[in-house]
Chains A and B, each alone.
Chain A
Amino acid sequence: MLGLTLRRERLHGSAWYLLSGLLLLVVAAGIVSTYPTVADREALAASVNASAGELFMIGPVSSTDVGGIGLWRMLGIATIFISLASVLTMVRNTRAPEESGTSEMLGTAAVGRAAPLAAALGVTTAGSLGAGIVVGAGFLGIGASATGSLLVGAQITMFGLLAAALAALTGQIVQTARGATGIAVAFVAAFFLLRGAGDAIGGNAYWLSPFGWIAAVRPFADNNAVMLLPALALTIALAAVALWIASRRDLGAGLLPERVGPAHASAALRGPTSLALRTSRGAMIGWAAGALVVGLLIGGVSSTVDDQIDLALGSSAGSGSGLIQVALYLSPLFAAILGILTTLRLRGEVTSGRAEAVLSRPVPRSRWLLAHAITGTLAGLGLLFALGLGIAVAQLGSDAGSFGVLAISGALRAPAAWVFIALTTLLLATVPRAASAIAFIVIGAFQALEFAVEFRIIPHEALYASPFALVPQLPDGDPHPWQAVLLILIAAALTTIATRAIRHRDID
């Protein structure tokens, strides 16, 4: 079983982990070359550690040597990337094949009920170790100390192991692969946010999040390897419970019993758009609720500790670098990712054969395509609006006058996400099989642009090619009115082309 899983995952899984590791290295090396002297780095550390925004998003700088700065810049991203690699690899090898029925073919071969999970744990452990080794070795390469580099590698591995164990458990409890992934990702997001809140609050608040425990190893400063143990214990406990459930439950079952539903569809469920909204409803509400909580948290933290220090980091493109501004600046990226993922579900409709059920009825293809684009558009808008609203509500006490502006400050940035959603729609209509890959490469390219500006490889003005910088940067930045209209027009044009192009493609 492990052999089979390893073979299947050799390319897919290891690429995820290794690319994540390499990306982290690039980020670390980038920041190190941007701040080459000790004096530079001390200035950076002083301003970072005084900014709630930086503390929340990335964390504190605990050492100003080369390794310490590299680690600081990379750690927040590392928690997300390595965790996602583990969650996706885990679910792909446990709940996903079980849901699609592939496991049944193997089940007869008497491999033991917990064997798929054990194999997936093996693969994710190997991947996490691989990512840890890549990053650790890379840190040695950029001139960091050996002990610190070893511990950085251990931290990376620990993030991977923790997320794998988490997804192992959700994969046993929830019946669908999407649900298992969603809940595990929600936990990762919560750990990330709580780590941010903990760092912004300071003191012992790092105990709020397991990511905070792991960060508390503080390589290059304290080299406190003991702080790996609490996360390791949690990981082992989660994995043990998952294995225990796996060895007891029926194939295909979850822990939660299946409820019956209505025998008739409500009057609202009547066409492709209501269907797409209905099937994405759970995810849309979940993400919006998450964004509201993030908004409340950021608004709350920032009203007490943010001193609005203006950092030299380029990524906020003139909208200031206080916590609220940084969060708002980053929000359309998440909205775009959610919108792209939601729109891409059209591809799943085709490969599963469900599209046939709709398209063999008198439903024009353009309407069917548009249904998914609209759902993605609303998903992105919902997330942004919820974030802005959360911030505005949390700021009521300190800044009631800005309530209106803050409440719509998220939603106003939706056009940036819409451009990417419209591009995804066009890709689905023209090159459906490659749509997902191309859409994320494009998003990745714009992120690379942000980093290139931050590391001063290209001038700041280059950001004005990025939709993320062109949307209204309220409350403090440029309102960009005609730029926003332009983005909306681009999105509309791309979508219109897509609805025409889909007429000329086979559905397969």
Chain B
Amino acid sequence: MTDLVELRQIIKSFGHARALDGLDLTISAGEVHGLLGPNGAGKSTTIRVLLGMLHADSGTARVLGHDPWTAAPEIRGRLAYVPGDVSLWPNLTGGEVIDLLARMHGGEDRARRDALIERFELDPTKRSRTYSKGNRQKVGLVSALSVTAELLILDEPTSGLDPLMEEVFKQCVSEARHEGRTVLLSSHILSEVEQLCDRVSIVRAGKVVDTGTMAELRGHDTTVVTATLTRRPTGLDTLTGIEKVTVDGHQIELTTTRFDEVMTRLASFGIETLTVAPPTLEDLFLHYYDQTGTAQDRVGATA
């Protein structure tokens, strides 16, 4: 498989604030790649570097084999983009905007356009000014999905969509994958990422802190072990590889990846009840996000 997107050590600052701080990202052809991260992590900035709208201060970027900053117009004919907050020309109707953007892209496909408008239940005769947030988002989605593009770049594309429309969106992404298109999907919605993405990169404070398949990411994190013991546990601090230990009388909760040692030690106190829970994506999310001091990291990095 070839890599459609390759970012290496991208650094981008706005004044004193460092939005991207040595970001690495690789997206292979044919995969749906999720971009997860808290607000302000740098997801949109990453995407704007990929689109050639921002010039990275340092690092190398390749999109479809070209540097997006210098070769921008050519590569942009081969990709389609939906921003998280689609804004439209207030006096044009939704249908006019979709046609105009398709013509700018090249390769207008009437049948495909009409089918998508139907599926997203969009009224193309309304002036953009009167569209709700969700309807504007639909215009953006129809515009991007109705043209031929090898790479779809979607920045929180479902914000404002109702659950039914979100379902339609998920179908569209699956179809795109089956057609062999590559998708970059930035999102806050875990179920969406879990269902759609082959691989996920987690962004925090301008860096990709982890990347891999869902299974791989789960492996990185720790499993939550909860137990009621017959005797009060002591001397646990000599154990390595355990975290977040809370002891409440005979109750203990901890997270670990070292089952052998932990179980042996716990058994020595007598186990009455035991639950072992694999991490959900939520836990993962919290694990990466909750390392608070996002802002401090950023300040420290630029000081």
| Contact of A271 with B127 in the complex, beta carbons under 8 Å | no
Q: Is the CB of B104 within 8 A of A363?
A: yes
Q: Does B99 contact A (CB under 8 A)?
A: yes
**Which chain B residue has the least Cβ–Cβ distance from A360?**
B81
Contact of A275 with B100 in the complex, beta carbons under 8 Å: yes
B278 surroundings in chain A (CB, below 8 A): none
Question: Known: A175-B129, A359-B53, A364-B73. Is A263-B93 also a contact (CB below 8 A)?
Answer: yes
* Complex CA distance for A357 and B140, rounded to whole angstroms: 9
Q: How far is the CB of B222 from chain A (nearest CB, A)?
A: 40
**Are B92 and A278 within 8 A (Cβ)?**
yes
B51 near A: Cβ within 8 Å?
yes
* A265 x B105 contact (CB < 8 A): no
In whole angstroms, how far apart are the Cα atoms of A22 and B238 in the complex?
Answer: 78
* Known A-B contacts A260-B125, A262-B125; A361 and B89 likewise in contact (beta carbons under 8 Å): no
Across-interface contacts of A364 in B (CB, < 8 A):
72-73
Say whether chain A's binding surface is mostly helix, strand, loop, or mixed. loop
Evaluate contact between B103 and A362: CB separation under 8 angstroms: no
In the complex, chain A residues whose CB is within 8 Å of the CB of B104: 270-272, 358, 361-363
Residues of chain B within 8 A (CB-CB) of A354 are 87-89
CB-CB contacts of B144-158 with A at 8 A, as 1s and 0s? 000000000100000
B129's partner among A258, A265, A269, A356 (CB-CB below 8 A) is A258
Q: Is B101 part of the binding interface, using a Cβ–Cβ cutoff of 8 Å?
A: yes
Cβ contacts under 8 Å, A365 to chain B: 72
> B106 touching A356 by the CB < 8 A rule?
no
What does DSSP make chain B's interface, helix, strand, loop or mixed?
mixed
Q: How far is the CB of B70 from chain A (nearest CB, A)?
A: 9
Bound form: Cα–Cα A285–B104 in Å? 26
The answer to whether A264 and B99 touch across the interface, beta carbons within 8 angstroms, is yes
Shortest CB distance B94–A (Å): 8
Q: How far, in whole Å, are A363 and B104 apart by their CA atoms in the complex? A: 7
Contact B76 A361 (CB under 8 A): yes
Residue with the highest number of chain B CB atoms closer than 10 Å, among A258, A275, A364: A275
Contacts of B90 in A (CB 8 A): 176
State in angstroms the CA–CA spacing of A365 and B96 once bound together: 22
Contact string against A for B residues 87-130, beta-carbon threshold 8 Å, 1 for contact and 0 otherwise: 11111110111111101111000000000000000001111011
Q: Which residues of A contact B103 (CB under 8 A)?
A: 265, 269-271
Q: Is B37 an interface residue (CB 8 A)?
A: no
Nearest chain A CB to B203's CB is how many angstroms away? 19
Q: Are B73 and A363 in contact (CB under 8 A)?
A: yes
Q: Is B83 an interface residue (CB 8 A)?
A: yes
Q: Name the distance in Å between A303's Cβ and chain B's nearest Cβ.
A: 40
A37 near B: Cβ within 8 Å?
A: no
A261, A270, A271, A356: which contacts B93 (Cβ < 8 A)?
Answer: A261
Q: Are B87 and A265 in contact (CB under 8 A)?
A: no
Please pick, from B73, B125, B143, the residue contacting A261 in the complex, using a CB distance under 8 A.
B125
Minimum CB–CB distance from B80 to chain A (whole Å) comes to 8
B86 at the interface (CB under 8 A from A): yes
Q: Which of A265-285 contact B (CB under 8 A)?
A: 265, 269-272, 275, 278-279, 282
Q: Which residues of A line the B interface, CB within 8 A?
A: 175-176, 258-265, 269-272, 275, 278-279, 282, 352-354, 356-365, 504, 506-508
Q: List 5 A-B contacts (CB under 8 A).
A: A279-B89, A357-B88, A357-B101, A364-B73, A508-B14
User: 20 extra interchain contacts, Cβ-Cβ under 8 A, other than A260-B126, A362-B105, A362-B106?
Assistant: A258-B126, A261-B93, A261-B95, A261-B96, A261-B127, A262-B96, A262-B125, A263-B93, A263-B95, A269-B99, A269-B100, A269-B103, A270-B103, A353-B83, A353-B86, A354-B88, A356-B83, A360-B79, A361-B105, A508-B48
